[in-house]
Structure 1
């Protein structure tokens, strides 16, 4: 069931109780967790925090931590599965689900109160209860009646039941055929913070990073991203006016036009341009003439190569001030999208500003760090969201993010230049060869997805990407066509059907249904079945 009042029907119920907080490994979930931790700290709510990576981890985390727990909060996990059926909880346990993964499981929607959904997205076209669920007593009484009239009534009931089942199948197919993302969970919780009079710059910054993540990773259309952040814009503007009136000198979140380049303040301008998801695919840097295109772009911007290749903070001050104007002037000459946009910036006294886009890549790099355990990376990602200043977690994440971006660029360039982006009828695909230097970076869905978006370049054809997670298992994810404008994904349902037809042992454990794992030895067989299914 959906709750109507997020403060009274959700947060106030948690006051004075111990809470089990289950959080998925993604940028939005970590930002939402940061906001919720701030609220819990203000109101002295004790909680147990457990990060989870998939449905099996969710089940294990609940079984290991449910003792004397009455309230469970799930962030970006649990919404797309039948929680009661999978977790088998006691009747008094209540689950509060805030999950941006869609569509929501229909059993959660029509739960009698044990599963309570914190937010309903406008895009969810949920079927009516009577069209999905049927009273079992009607079926039990189907055989009643005798004589001709009873027989006719029986035939009519069976005909009506068959029509109902066919209609139900059609409605459920239409409801579940696409997977997609709803409003960022952190943007929902920032409204709760405002209602609870607990709005802070830390909460605003976390919500800003989550909103930027949905835009940067193309999980929401541009129009939807603007609507999702509408309340956040208002809160940021109000906080800015308050800070200006009180001459506050602490860190504050502002909305400003900025270059849409990853980590350029901590990198060189040339490197940032080379690894910008918006520009790199369009510049075709994998081709022999790619480097000359980049140099020509810098020349048209009026930036000497010597300046572009040194640390941004060491560049000439006048060049730094003219960066946005130079980008806006030079980009159209090269038929590039204008790499500037209004974005969220964290301004801090006596320190360089932080861009929300940079925080997105830092958190991704910490979540899927090459050497750190996932739980440790999760805690570092939470620490990297601190607004007080650059801490060790941010520095470690920033260095890791630059390495990841370099690995993704190297992988995509090698794939495209060697023509390893293969065509399989209705879709294209590429496979990251195990043992390559980049394989250890893209073994998770976040960075493999980033590589897939670079390789696709906004093409009108769906794309699959696969990489090994261990010596015997591989991850496979699907990217819809024209994902920049319409990110709804059909691969979740297609993967499930292909697995059934091919007999391949596929794990559908990921909360995002467009990501699966399967035995590497059966990958070719599965791709053949998927090709036949989508042809």
Structure 2
């Protein structure tokens, strides 16, 4: 069932109770957790926080922490699976689900109250209850009797049931064939903080980062991202103070260059490693290098200036960066060379864009050496507003290395013509022993590499795979970026696994991400190609 009133039907229910908070490893979930932690601290709500990476970890976390717990809050996990069936909870346990992964499982939607969905996305076309659930107990109890009339009644009843089952299967197929992302969970939590009069700079900043993550990863269309951030835009006037009451933090909305970490990098490095501009420069070719230098020349930036740290550049060049990039980008036919972005301005600290915080947080979650549970805590700390934030600095450094690895990997793949065409989609495989494999073995950075390659190669959907260890690999699929961000690979992976007999793990909360034995990857790709070629 859906929660109608965020304050009374969700937050007020938690007051005075201990809460089990299960949070997925992604940027939006981290931002949502940050907002909820602030609310819980204000109202003395005790909670147990457990990060989870998949359905198996979700089940284990619940089993290990459900003692004397009556309220469970799930962030970006649990919405797409039948929670009651998988977790087998006691009847008095209530699950509050705040999950941007869609479509929502219909058993959660029509739960009698044990599963409560905190937000209803108007984009979801949920089938009616009577069209997908049917109670045949009364029919079985009614005996049509013997004779010809009774036989005809039974035959007619079976025919009607088969027709109803066919309609239900068609409805469920149409409902579940595409996976997609709804409104960022952090922006729903931000609305809750507004309603309970707890909205401050920390909450607004977390919401801005979550919205920027959905836009940067291409999870939501541009119009949807704009509508999602409507409350954040209205609330900025109330987010200029930090907790000690000093006017030292301000969240502003302004045009900015879509260059990741350029304030912490050189301009040339930011252009070369930008997932939104790099693909169109086609740096895997000699012409791409010339195109980059032509872009800098058209902008009026000498190579000496472009290659030094941004903070050391000439002040006039820094001030005219955005205008120069827009003018030169239009001349070269580059798209998305500027965008409206949230910038955090703090005393005695350089401006921090929400996009930079997205990459820093993602890098901590999928750090090359830091354990994932530790990276989760560092990612939470990176969202703090303090000007001296060691976690943020660590995340920025890791994000720079990860973006460099992604750029090298994609450029090497394209230059070696290792991007293969398989019917309606293309794919590339990162083999074990590849130097960049350690950086892109998680869904975030592998997804960045996949979208980069898809943009550079054309408008086709793309599948990418990377090794996890000596025996297993990860595989994910991304839709064409310039189209609606509905992803058909979730359902396709499931069907291909069933037809091929490959032991594919569908444990990830995003159905378009799977793991499978490396030895069976070719067999699985053949089955996927045959399946999608028939659709």
The residue number in structure 2 matching 1:443 is 441
Partner of 1:233: 233
Indicate conservation of the 8 Å contact 1:222/1:485, yes or no. no
Task: Name structure 1 gaps, 5 residues minimum.
Answer: none
1:51-130 matches, cutoff 5 A? 51-130=51-130
Once residues 186 and 485 of structure 1 are traced to their aligned partners in structure 2, the CA distance between those partners, rounded to angstroms, is: 25
In structure 1, the residue matched to 2:10 is: 10
Contact 1:142 1:157 in 2 (8 A): no
SS at match of 1:289: helix
Q: In the alignment, is the contact (CA less than 8 A) between 1:258 and 1:324 conserved in 2?
A: yes
Per the alignment, residue 375 of structure 2 pairs with 377
Matched, 1:150 2:164: no
Residues 394/159 of structure 1: CA separation in 2 closer, same or farther (3 Å cut): same
Match of 1:387 in 2: 385
Match of 2:461 in 1: 462
**Distance change in 2, residues 1:125/1:374 (3 Å):** same
Task: Provide the residue aligned with 2:278 in structure 1.
Answer: 280
> Given that residues 348 and 387 in structure 2 are in contact (C-alpha distance below 8 angstroms), is that contact kept between their aligned partners in structure 1?
no
State the shift of 1:248 in Å. Answer: 5.5
How much does 1:139 deviate? 4.3
Summarize the Cα distance change of 1:142–1:472 in structure 2 as closer, same or farther, 3 Å threshold.
farther
Q: Residue by residue, what CA displacement relative to the aligned partner does 1:73-102 show, whole Å, maximum 9, x if unpaired?
A: 000000000000000001111000000000
Deviation, structure 1 residue 289: 2.0
* Alpha-carbon distance, 1:147 to partner: 2.5
- TM-score using structure 2 length: 0.97
Indicate which of 513, 516, 521 corresponds to 2:514: 516
TM-score, normalised relative to structure 1 = 0.97
1:191 equivalenced with 2:195 (yes/no): no
| Counterpart in the other structure of 2:248 | 250
Alignment RMSD (CA, Å): 1.2
Aligned match for 1:409, one of 407, 410, 416: 407
Q: 1:147 to 1:348 in 2, by over 3 A?
A: same
Find the aligned partners of 2:27 and 2:79 in 1 and give their Cα distance.
17
Structure 1 residues 484 and 360, CA gap change in structure 2 (3 angstroms): farther
Separation in 2, partners of 1:225, 1:162:
42
Deviations 1:412-435 (A, max 9, x none): 000000000011122110001111
C-alpha distance in 1, partners of 2:69/2:42?
A: 21
Give the match for residue 36 of structure 1.
36
CA distance in 1, matches of 2:434, 2:137: 61
Aligned residues: 529
Report how far residue 158 of structure 1 moved: 1.4
Please, which of 337, 341, 352 is the counterpart of residue 339 of structure 1? 337
Whether contact under 8 Å (1:370, 1:441) holds in the other structure is: yes
Counterpart check, 1:330 vs 2:328: yes
1:142: Cα distance to partner? 5.9
List per-residue Cα deviations over 1:206-253 (Å, max 9, x = no partner). Answer: 0000000000000111111111111111111x326x77xxx9622121
Q: Which deviates more, 451-460 or 316-325?
A: 451-460
**Quick one: distance in 1 between partners of 2:336 and 2:62?**
47
